[in-house]
Chains A and B, each alone.
Chain A
Amino acid sequence: KNQVEQSPQSLIILEGKNCTLQCNYTVSPFSNLRWYKQDTGRGPVSLTIMTFSENTKSNGRYTATLDADTKQSSLHITASQLSDSASYICVVSDRGSTLGRLYFGRGTQLTVWP
């Protein structure tokens, strides 16, 4: 069964600290993996998208890694800011159809405290 599991479910950190969010997936065949940031009451916004051949990709203070062999990804946030408080969603796409079926994780709810 194709699944995307994220951990932790929620996380609280102090402003300025770093954190790492985890994503494990069983989706096959694999096409790409995306990390989205979703603010409360808003739609998700793409942070990174990685294909099979990419091991790491950065977007400002966000760095995503991908290990396609172990089917694991992580999102590292450096020097957290209050505006980083949001849900971070891991999404995996398969190659099974022209549509590129997406499998969504439930997200990690990050809260940054001053």
Chain B
Amino acid sequence: EADIYQTPRYLVIGTGKKITLECSQTMGHDKMYWYQQDPGMELHLIHYSYGVNSTEKGDLSSESTVSRIRTEHFPLTLESARPSHTSQYLCASSSGQLLEQYFGPGTRLTVT
């Protein structure tokens, strides 16, 4: 099992609140990713990072922001949560030539 962790696992929060989803990995991987997944749908890349101080937006437009101050830590922040942000958020990291990705357990976010 991969050493990549996400907290919280579940979060129910009211509209307008600021939230930060935590992701950390102990494998020393340079590349990290955030995905959004709705039930029965494919994963969509919303942010990625090649390394410290490197962040890029993914394919799916997202109102969230990320930071990468340390190799092992890649938090995602929503400044003002809305019901449309309700989804599962998956963090991943990768290594090697094939960039095999290891996923965290996910955070299920519900915005009421």
Interface of A toward B, CB cutoff 8 Å:
4, 31-32, 34, 36, 41-46, 49, 51, 89, 93, 98-100, 102, 104-107, 109
With beta carbons under 8 angstroms apart, the residue of A49, A98, A99 that contacts B100 is A49
Closest to A105 in B: B42
Measured between C-beta atoms, what is the minimum distance from B36 to chain A in Å? 11
Closest to B56 in A: A99
Instruction: Note all chain A residues with C-beta closer than 8 A to B75.
Output: none
Instruction: Note all chain B residues with C-beta closer than 8 A to A98.
Output: 50
Query: Contact size class for B?
Result: 20 to 34
Interface of B toward A, CB cutoff 8 Å:
1-2, 4, 6, 31, 40-45, 48, 50, 90-92, 98-106, 108
Across the A-B interface, give the 7 residue pairs with the lowest CB-CB distance, nearest first: A43-B103, A104-B42, A100-B99, A104-B43, A106-B42, A44-B103, A43-B106
Measured between C-beta atoms, what is the minimum distance from B1 to chain A in Å? 8
The reply to whether B48 and A99 form a contact with Cβ atoms under 8 Å apart is yes
A sample of 17 inter-chain contacts (CB < 8 A) reads: A4-B42, A36-B103, A41-B106, A43-B6, A43-B91, A43-B104, A44-B90, A45-B1, A45-B2, A45-B103, A46-B100, A46-B101, A49-B98, A49-B100, A89-B43, A102-B101, A104-B42
